[in-house]
Structure 1
Amino acid sequence: MPSHKSEDYKITAVKYFLENKSSYVNTCKIFKCSERSLKRWIEKYKTQYNITRTNRPAISYKITQEQVKDALQLLKENEQITMNELQYQLQKKHKTLDISQQHLGTILRENNKTRKRTRHSHFPIIRYKKPIFKQTELSKFYSGISKHPINKIISIDETAIRPVMMNEYSRCELGKRCVFKTNDTFMFRKYTLLVAISNTKCIGWTMFEKGAMNKERFVEFMKEYIFRKYKDHLIVMDNAGGHRNKYVWDAITESGNQYLHSVPYTPITNPIEAFFNQVKHYLKQNKSVLRYNELNKSVENAIAKVKPENYNNYFNYAYDKEQFKLPSIRSTRRRTLKKYKKG
């Protein structure tokens, strides 16, 4: 039997004692408890009509409420503050505070502040010398998208490809750094990969060995892979100089198609960005510094691994938000806030 009896167990013992007018000795012998405990249960039951165990809440005495509040405020002011700087700022204000960086990190975690990978989001307030508002631009863009079925939309864009690429995170032995070593300076070269996709497949792609993207190359690519086979389609492209010009607009219009530029600095409005992420994921699995022909073959193999359902998901995620709407669920990893001593 555990040292602490359950509430039901205690009430049963008390009721047995009161209803049967039994002695303390006999009741304690049956329920295996001390007479002192039984007397305490009976007194509590008569006054409160229950025997609920009351526990004293745990209180952290290493740091005060005011110090925790200051730590959270410093974190709110600068989310990228390091533990070293946070410790220094707290000890500068609270001279008697003696706490390690590890303990400080634990306190932040107990207050549901966790370390995450930082993402950068940028959207200008002035563009082409005119005010610009993100929500207005998104409304215009999705209004244009809604006029076309998803299977009549083509997404096109270019991206930079290096002879060798690596993931930002790795796993290795505890206490050692993960170092990706190379000895071939060819790795610093860049190639331009131009791709067009629909919601079912990759329509076409090419990788330029020399030179950057320009309007002539862009139109030549569309003539080869899009204009001959596709009519009355909406071509979604970004706002790069090689895309946003009259030469490109006229070529698309004359081909019997329409065009729409994605919202600037908002990659989610162009499905091909998700495609590039998946292709580069496969390319990063290579550990060698590849020459152009080898890299070209590696890109071909990576694109072949992208499944039709992946293309469909890219477009649905970008343009059919209702299908991908997920209910907001409170994280099960959130912790109940601790109590700290008053300063």
Structure 2
Amino acid sequence: MMEQLNAQFVGLDIHQSALHTFLYEKRHFSLKRAHFHSVERNSPEKIEERYNWVKQWQETDMDFTSNCVFIDEAAFHINMKRNYAWSGKGKRAVVNVPKTRAKTTTIIGAISSFGIVNVKVKLPKVTAPSKKRKATSGPVQAGKGGTVTGHYFNFVASTLDVMDKYEQFKDHYLIMDNAPIHKNKDMQLYIEGRGYRCVYLPPYSPELNPIEQFWSIVKRKLKRVALLEEETLSTRISDSCNKVMIIDLQGFCRYSAARWADCLERKSI
């Protein structure tokens, strides 16, 4: 902010502490973690889609806190943004950002209120696949960056293999966002053929997906320098996953379940 003021008002003489005092005491602004929202996220159309989605699924036995496994990818961008921004006191700091593309390291994960079901790390520029330690039973797999249908299918298959071993996962719902890679018809038929149920979230609805909060914590524990050190990334991610407790996962599920009421009231989320 200081740089922008100095660029706009040549010769401006003001100390950073004075600017902070003015913003905090006079304008009632405070520095908070920035939440980057797509400009489309809370458009009237998306709000209506979420309303219709909740209306449909509340008539079923689907319960985020007891019979759902949430699957999603997390992208680690090299050009990460600052985590804090100014906003009015008592108000969330939201920064609208345009759609951008950047080179990423991808993690695919599956969680539930019972714990972490499966995690796979996909590192960029790795020519030969290898196996590294995972936060749960089984290896974190390192492969070439980016997620394609084949890789995602293999991850879902391995996740179902884990779920098959535990009675509490019987007849569970697999919850995914509506990305094209997830909505492959063969994928849905495969999941249903394995005895599970497949549900796709409405577009631009990360608050309805508990794994988004899981990824947020994992990312927070990873320093930016870790993204540049491919040899240590898998270990760092595994360590971060291990620090997320079951009580935290249960809290994530309760939080997303509580957002259903907001959707029914057609609130922005």
Find the aligned partners of 1:87 and 1:236 in 2 and give their Cα distance. 51
* 2:160 paired with 1:226: yes
Aligned to 1:207: 121
Gaps of 5+ in 1: 1-81, 89-98, 126-130, 171-187, 324-343
| Aligned amino acid, residue 159 of structure 1 | A
Q: 1:133 aligns with which of 24, 45, 49?
A: 45
Name the one with the larger strand percent: 2
Using a 3 Å threshold, how does the CA distance of structure 1 residues 219 and 104 change in structure 2: closer, same or farther? closer
Using a 3 Å threshold, how does the CA distance of structure 1 residues 145 and 112 change in structure 2: closer, same or farther? farther
Using a 3 Å threshold, how does the CA distance of structure 1 residues 286 and 302 change in structure 2: closer, same or farther? farther
Aligned to 2:138: none
* 2:77 paired with 1:159: no
Matched-pair contact (CA < 8 Å) for 2:104–2:145: no
Aligned to 2:192: 253
Using a 3 Å threshold, how does the CA distance of structure 1 residues 85 and 202 change in structure 2: closer, same or farther? same
Matched-pair contact (CA < 8 Å) for 2:23–2:30: no
Q: Shift of residue 289 of structure 1? A: 4.3
Matched-pair contact (CA < 8 Å) for 1:275–1:314: yes
Matched-pair contact (CA < 8 Å) for 1:157–1:272: yes
Using a 3 Å threshold, how does the CA distance of structure 1 residues 84 and 132 change in structure 2: closer, same or farther? same
Matched-pair contact (CA < 8 Å) for 1:123–1:265: no
Q: After TM superposition, list the pairs within 5 Å mapping 1:71-110 onto structure 2.
A: 83=5, 109-110=24-25
Matched-pair contact (CA < 8 Å) for 2:73–2:109: yes
Matched-pair contact (CA < 8 Å) for 2:208–2:259: no
Find the aligned partners of 2:243 and 2:22 in 1 and give their Cα distance. 45
Q: Shift of residue 151 of structure 1? A: 1.3
Q: After TM superposition, list the pairs within 5 Å mapping 1:287-326 onto structure 2.
A: 289-292=228-231, 294-320=232-258
Find the aligned partners of 2:244 and 2:54 in 1 and give their Cα distance. 26
| Aligned amino acid, residue 254 of structure 2 | N
Relative contact order higher in (CA < 8 Å, ≥ 6 apart): 2
Using a 3 Å threshold, how does the CA distance of structure 1 residues 106 and 291 change in structure 2: closer, same or farther? closer
Using a 3 Å threshold, how does the CA distance of structure 1 residues 135 and 191 change in structure 2: closer, same or farther? closer
| Aligned amino acid, residue 109 of structure 2 | V
Q: Shift of residue 302 of structure 1? A: 1.5
Q: After superposition, give the CA deviation of every residue in 1:6-61 in whole Å (9 maximum; x if it has no partner).
A: xxxxxxxxxxxxxxxxxxxxxxxxxxxxxxxxxxxxxxxxxxxxxxxxxxxxxxxx
Q: 1:281 aligns with which of 199, 206, 220?
A: 220
Q: Shift of residue 110 of structure 1? A: 4.6
* 2:108 paired with 1:194: yes
Find the aligned partners of 1:193 and 1:239 in 2 and give their Cα distance. 17
Using a 3 Å threshold, how does the CA distance of structure 1 residues 123 and 287 change in structure 2: closer, same or farther? closer
Using a 3 Å threshold, how does the CA distance of structure 1 residues 169 and 274 change in structure 2: closer, same or farther? closer
Gaps of 5+ in 2: 85-101, 123-142, 262-269
Q: 1:122 aligns with which of 15, 38, 50?
A: 38
Find the aligned partners of 1:291 and 1:106 in 2 and give their Cα distance. 42
The normalised TM-score by structure 1 is 0.51
Find the aligned partners of 1:274 and 1:166 in 2 and give their Cα distance. 17
> How big is the alpha-carbon RMSD for the aligned residues of Structure 1 and Structure 2?
3.9
Matched-pair contact (CA < 8 Å) for 1:83–1:101: no
Find the aligned partners of 1:204 and 1:220 in 2 and give their Cα distance. 12
Identity of aligned residues (%): 23
Q: 1:217 aligns with which of 145, 151, 162?
A: 151
Find the aligned partners of 2:5 and 2:225 in 1 and give their Cα distance. 36
* 2:204 paired with 1:265: yes
Find the aligned partners of 1:116 and 1:319 in 2 and give their Cα distance. 29
Find the aligned partners of 1:165 and 1:145 in 2 and give their Cα distance. 38
| Aligned amino acid, residue 230 of structure 2 | R
